[in-house]
């Protein structure tokens, strides 16, 4: 099973974060490495093959990270 790769990603998942449809944690790791994306950011939206990265918000609050 595809699992989050970093402590921050695992923390977001524990708080209720779910990857956008069509994304996998393997794809997240590849994109993060290729584009030097900060560890606190995860995919928050995917439209027409374009991925938006950010700190997730659930119920109007940013998720916490260590």
Average pLDDT of adjacent 10-residue blocks, the chain of 66 residues: 92 97 94 94 93 96 91
**Is 16 inside any structural domain?**
yes
**Is 1 inside any structural domain?**
no
pLDDT at site 1? 67
14 phi and psi angles, rounded to 5 deg: -60, -25
- Domain assignment of residue 15, given as a range: 7-62
Residue with tokens 């790769």: 5
**Is 37 inside any structural domain?**
yes
26 phi and psi angles, rounded to 5 deg: -65, -45
**Is 44 inside any structural domain?**
yes
**Is 2 inside any structural domain?**
no
In total, how many domains does the chain have? 1
């Amino acid at each position: 099973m595809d699992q989050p790769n970093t402590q921050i990603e695992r923390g977001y998942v524990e708080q209720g974060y779910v990857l956008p449809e069509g994304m996998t944690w393997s794809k997240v790791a590849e994109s993060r490495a290729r584009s030097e994306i900060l560890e606190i950011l995860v995919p928050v939206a995917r439209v027409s093959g374009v991925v938006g990265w950010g700190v997730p918000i659930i119920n109007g609050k940013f998720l916490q990270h260590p």
